[in-house]
Amino acid sequence: MRITIVGAGFSGSALASELARQAGPGVELCLIGVADSYSRGVAYGEARSEHLLNVRASELGATPDQPGAFADWLNLSDRARVSYLPRLAYGEYLHAQLQTAVAGSTAAFNQIRQEAIAVERASAGFRVHLADGSDFLSDRVVLAVGALPPQALAGVGPRLAIHPSYLNWPWQDGAIDAIAPDARLLIVGTGLTMADVATTLQRRGHRGPIVALSRHGLLPRAHGDYPPAEIALPPAVLQALHTHAPREVLRALRTLTPVVDDWRSLIDALRPHLQNFWRGVPMPQRASFLRHLRSYWEVVRHRIAPQLAEQLQALRESGQLQVRAGRLLRARRGDDAVEVLIRERGGSALHSERYDALIRATGLDTDVERTTHPLVAHLRESGLVAADPLGLGLKVSDRFEVLDNKGGAVRGLYAIGPLLRAQLWEITAVPELRSAARELAGQLLSATAAARAAGAQRLAVAG
């Protein structure tokens, strides 16, 4: 029985490690990922030294039963355990965890350091095609590709789209290092990616003005200096969660917020309930949440390290960083600058402005219908997967099996990671991802055992 995991970021590596620890002889595991970030992922393997984790070290163990394992691996002091470390260190931890699991496994393990470009049905399961032209058969395939590549910004003209002054992804090929220190910059996006960009620019000694633009103009909120006290949700909030109505939950939270010492405690207490809550939210209410409340939720849910928040505040107080609410309507390459049209939020007038560079920093993308990701686009076009109509990833069953374009479960084809947002919403951070990895590992091995038993029974009958 061969199980192939496509994607060697956190989700793929965590799942591979779980399978390596649990699987026995007769199971072959294949983990496919690009060489540059293998077993680390883009978030942790291609980060820069100044980029910090957004979670305390004490909470980032790769398995659900050992949340402190990352801090233990680094042998951190009590004070350091509640700090925010460089993301590169976490990438090294993930790599070490995988290699340890592989070394101790009784299952066969094949680490393939290249890109998978296609997965097709085959009589024995699936045929996986690699970038070098080779292919192989697999009984089970798990899509763990992480977030999808960023799409081009709407309104960007064709000349600008291929010009160095447009950075569709700031970390690609060191593009950000080519920005002149005095350049006037427009960053579209005010979330976590923008915070990373601002940190890197500051580290490089950037002196020019920076404008960060998003629809609501909201910056991520900061973690406190110390972990907030844990609280239990009162019956009113629990009852609101059972209604599967976002507005009812919001109404209940508003009555509770004034009496909670730290609002972060309230957000953290909600997390264990959010996957079940989201499963029951009807599609129209999901769409309404995404349109009206998503931005406000994400700035309090996805928080940044206190020291990073201080850096952003210092940039704003100095006047170098300006955060604005509005929309980029058009951007084109002029003779000597990027010429843009911006409409401020709540206004009707259009503002014509000029910048030396335009940077896309809009963060997580899970829109399967519009993606250019080679493998996901191929699966979509072949009908083997179906896109969530709200752009939240793939349609899947409760068992993480992918649904095809006719709504049927594709037996043996699974997904894990951010592409499950349509099903679970809260599935982009380590605590939820490591739990999903353990759950899916159990399902895969149970299915493997059932297939073996069925095969043995058929042989016995034939004999």
82-110 residue pLDDT tens? 999 999 999 999 999 999 999 999 999 99
Q: What is the pTM of this model?
A: 0.94
What φ, ψ does residue 141 adopt, rounded to 5°?
Answer: -135, 135
What's the N-to-C CA distance of the chain in angstroms? 22
Query: Would you state the pLDDT for residue 187?
Result: 98
Q: If you ran DSSP here, which 8-state letter would residue 76 be given?
A: -
- Range 333-354 average pLDDT: 95
In this chain, the answer to whether the domains covering 2-149+366-461 and 158-222+303-360 adopt an identical fold is yes
Please give the mean pLDDT across all residues of the chain.
Answer: 94
Query: 219: pLDDT confidence band, cut at 50, 70 and 90?
Result: very high
Query: Would you state the pLDDT for residue 326?
Result: 97
Query: 455: pLDDT confidence band, cut at 50, 70 and 90?
Result: low
- Range 320-332 average pLDDT: 97
Residues 141 and 30: their CA atoms lie apart, in Å, by 9
Contact 373, 365 (CB under 8 A): no
Hey, is 243 helix, strand or coil?
Answer: coil
CATH code of 158-222+303-360, in short, is: 3.50.50.60
Could you read off the pLDDT of 7-34 as tens digits, one per residue?
Answer: 999 999 999 999 999 999 999 999 999 9
Q: Is the pLDDT of residue 318 over 80?
A: yes
The CA R_g of the chain, rounded to the nearest whole Å, is 23
Residue linked to tokens 């390290």: 305
Query: Would you state the pLDDT for residue 451?
Result: 66
Q: Is the pLDDT of residue 458 over 80?
A: no
Return the ∠ at Cα 433 (arms to 431 and 436), rounded to 5°. Answer: 110
Query: Would you state the pLDDT for residue 58?
Result: 97
Q: Is the pLDDT of residue 5 over 60?
A: yes
- Range 115-140 average pLDDT: 95
Return the ∠ at Cα 129 (arms to 22 and 412), rounded to 5°. Answer: 45
314-350 exposure pattern, b = at least 16 Cβ within 10 A, e = fewer: ebbeeebbebebbbbeebbbeeeebbbebeeeeeeee
- Range 249-271 average pLDDT: 92
Domain ranges for the chain, please list them: 2-149+366-461, 158-222+303-360, 235-301
Residues 6+ apart with CB under 8 A from 146: 7, 9, 10, 11, 12, 41, 42, 43, 417, 418
Fold (topology level) of 2-149+366-461: FAD/NAD(P)-binding domain (3.50.50)
Q: Is the pLDDT of residue 383 over 80?
A: yes
- Range 117-143 average pLDDT: 96
Query: 151: pLDDT confidence band, cut at 50, 70 and 90?
Result: confident
How many Cβ atoms sit within 10 Å of the Cβ of residue 169? Answer: 15
Residues 55 and 68: their CA atoms lie apart, in Å, by 12
Percentage with pLDDT > 70 across the chain: 97
Query: Would you state the pLDDT for residue 123?
Result: 84
Strand 401-403, strand 409-415: pairing: antiparallel
Residues 15 and 216: their CA atoms lie apart, in Å, by 36
Contact 299, 219 (CB under 8 A): yes
